[in-house]
Each structure stands twice: as structure tokens, then as C-alpha cells.
Amino acid sequence: MELKPHAPVYNPPMIGDRRGTFVWLIACWALLGAAGCAYQFFWSTFPVTNVDEPPGPQRVVLIGDFVSGLGALYALCSVGLLLAGLIRLRRTRGWAGAWAGAAAVGLTFEAMIATGVGVPWVSPAYSGPAVLDWVYLAESAGFLIVGATLVWVLGCATHADARGAPAGSNVRP
């Protein structure tokens, strides 16, 4: 009996296929989260000149108001992404737990943004130079890392399920 070397075949995800649709949803979620955090950091670079108004030019304030209004919709979409991933991976021998863990980290980032954890507190009567919110840059990178992890879990689960191998197994049939 001759053993043939296993040659992995990469099939890029397409829009019509389920895995491709999830990859696009994950990418949109991660990029929107990273862009929102980067925008929050950008907003923190403006000096506070008037106590009654937010810092920065009026167009920056309007964009911030629009993005804040979409925050609740974004949070609902992320919960939907978590549930859709669990449904998609329910038959893949253990990968649903990895998906839930990575998605929970993503939801934690969203909770940190909503509650302002790590953001320096500024007095309502403060007027002066900008107070940079460096935590938003770390959260922006975190969204990208969690998005890449979710895509990796989805790819590994799909590949393991197609081979019939147990979760986390590197044994090739």
C-alpha cells in the first residue's frame, strides 16, 4: 500500500457559500469595531476649548453623533454573529466552544467601549489641552485580532469537519 502525501487545497470563501458569508460578516464586524475605536481616539486628540461643547470641529461632532446612534445596532449585530456562528458550528466537534470564547472576547471589547473602562476621567469643567484616550488604540487592535481569530476558528472547523477529524486534531486521514 502506497501512502500519498496529503496536499492541502485552499478553496477561498465565496460570497454564495456559507463560509464565505460568515467570513464577510466577521470582517465587517471587526473592521467597523476597529474603525469606531480609531475614531474615538482621533476625537480625543482635540483640545477642549468650550466646556459646554464637545471638542473638535462641528463635522467631527456630527460624525460622532451618527456613530454613537449606530452603537446599539452594532451591539445587536454582534450578538447575532455570535449566535449564527454557534448554530453554524454546532456539528463540528468542539469548535463551537472556541467560537464562543473568541466571540465573548469581542463582546467584552464592546462592553469596555460602552462603559468607558480605561478611559481617563476628565472633569466636566475641564478646558485645556487634549487628553488622549490610548485605550481605544488597544481596543482597535483587539477587534482586528478577534476578527482574525474568528475567521481562523471557522476555517479550522470547516476543514476538520470536511476531513472527519476530531477538533484540534492534526492527524491526517
Any domain includes 60? yes
Number of compact structural domains in the chain = 1
Any domain includes 105? yes
Question: Is residue 103 a contact partner of residue 26, using CB atoms and an 8 Å limit?
Answer: no
Any domain includes 153? yes
pLDDT for the residue numbered 146 = 93
pLDDT for the residue numbered 172 = 43
For 161, the 3-state DSSP assignment is helix
Question: Is residue 116 a contact partner of residue 64, using CB atoms and an 8 Å limit?
Answer: no
Non-local (6+) Cβ contacts of 158 within 8 A are: 19, 92
pLDDT for the residue numbered 171 = 41
Q: How far apart are CA 170 and CA 173, in angstroms?
A: 10
Any domain includes 101? yes
Could you tell me which residues are beta bridge partners of residue 137?
A: none
Any domain includes 106? yes
Q: Which of 165, 167, 166, 162 is nearest to 11 (CA)?
A: 162
Question: Is residue 78 a contact partner of residue 110, using CB atoms and an 8 Å limit?
Answer: yes
Q: How far apart are CA 126 and CA 50, in angstroms?
A: 9
pLDDT for the residue numbered 2 = 60
Any domain includes 172? no
Q: What is the pTM of this model?
A: 0.74
List the pLDDT tens digit at each of the 173 positions of the chain.
565 555 444 445 554 556 677 788 888 888 888 988 888 888 888 887 776 676 677 777 777 777 777 777 777 778 888 888 888 787 777 788 888 888 889 888 888 888 888 888 777 777 888 888 899 999 999 999 999 998 888 878 776 655 555 545 444 44
The range of the structural domain enclosing residue 154 comes to 38-46+55-116+132-161
DSSP-derived secondary structure for 36-62: HHHHHHHHTTS-B--TTS-SS-HHHHH
Any domain includes 22? no
Any domain includes 26? no
